Amino acid sequence: MSPAPEPIWLAGATGLVGRALLAELPGAIALVRKPQAGAMTVDYARPESFAALPAPGSLYIALGTTMAQAGSREAFRAVDFDAVVTVARAAREAGATHCGLVSAMAANARSAVFYNQVKGEAEDALIALGFQRLVIARPSLLDGERERLDQPARRGEAWTLKLARPLAGLIPAAWRPISPQRVARALHLALDAPGPAVRIVESAEMQRLGA
């Protein structure tokens, strides 16, 4: 009789990619900030709030916000760096060996662009935690309908998608908008596959892998 699969934590389960990951990983434990049916409530400012969760074998992180939604650099960093590192460290200390992170195209800790810099710093912090297998997904613009998920509208994103969708076939795969489902599937497949301790999957590869 084969052993039962180890639990999977999913942080950021209410976003576009997070919801796609829930569909991809139906047994995952969804971690949320506000009480929600079928999910576990955690406080990313209190690492001890993760202690009551079943010890995970793997972790998926799809946390993220925007500068406009956050309202300040400090608030943005609290989500895209602090919360990301908090849940990753909690999972690692609880025994997780595998981690999949949804980052962003052009993430780089040395970037002059604050958004890309914070994303890159989060990547570096997770690499330093020493997971046996860490897959970092760097998608381009997400092509999803946030309004249907009761998420705040992103005007710039909406206008870009309106212009890009009719031209999708002409846009190089690295820059083409990508569906959350492709990101989720590609991240799942990449994390399950054998490979180096750290693998970075760019958007063009996700377009192929998640198709």
Is residue 1 included in any domain, yes or no? no
Q: Torsions phi, psi of 85, nearest 5?
A: -70, -35
pLDDT of residue 5: 75
- The distance between the two most distant Cα atoms of the chain, rounded to a whole number of Å, is 54
Is residue 2 included in any domain, yes or no? no
In which residue are the tokens 């054998």 written? 194
pLDDT of residue 142: 87
pTM of the model: 0.88
pLDDT higher than 60, residue 1: no
Is residue 34 included in any domain, yes or no? yes
Output the domain CATH number for residue 123. Answer: 3.40.50.720
Each residue of 51-107: pLDDT tens digit? 999 999 999 999 998 888 888 999 999 999 999 999 999 999 999 999 999 999 999
Is residue 3 included in any domain, yes or no? no
Tokens standing for 23?
């569909």
Give the Cα separation of 138 and 144 in Å (integer). 16
Each residue of 6-22: pLDDT tens digit? 899 999 998 999 999 99
pLDDT of residue 145: 65
How would residue 185 be classed by pLDDT, with cut points 50, 70 and 90? very high
Is residue 115 included in any domain, yes or no? yes
pLDDT of residue 160: 59
Query: Which amino acid is located at 7 in the chain?
Result: P
Q: Which DSSP string corresponds to 138-165?
A: E--SB---GGGGTPPP-HHHHHHHHHHG
Each residue of 92-149: pLDDT tens digit? 999 999 999 999 999 999 999 999 999 999 999 999 999 999 999 999 988 866 555 5
pLDDT of residue 66: 84
pLDDT of residue 177: 85
Q: CB-based contacts of 84: which residues, under 8 Å, 6+ apart?
A: 11, 61, 63, 101, 122, 125, 126
Query: Which amino acid is located at 44 in the chain?
Result: Y
Task: Report the domain count for the chain.
Answer: 1
pLDDT higher than 60, residue 151: no
Is residue 33 included in any domain, yes or no? yes
Give the Cα separation of 140 and 135 in Å (integer). 16
> Could you tell me the residue range of the domain that residue 38 belongs to?
8-209
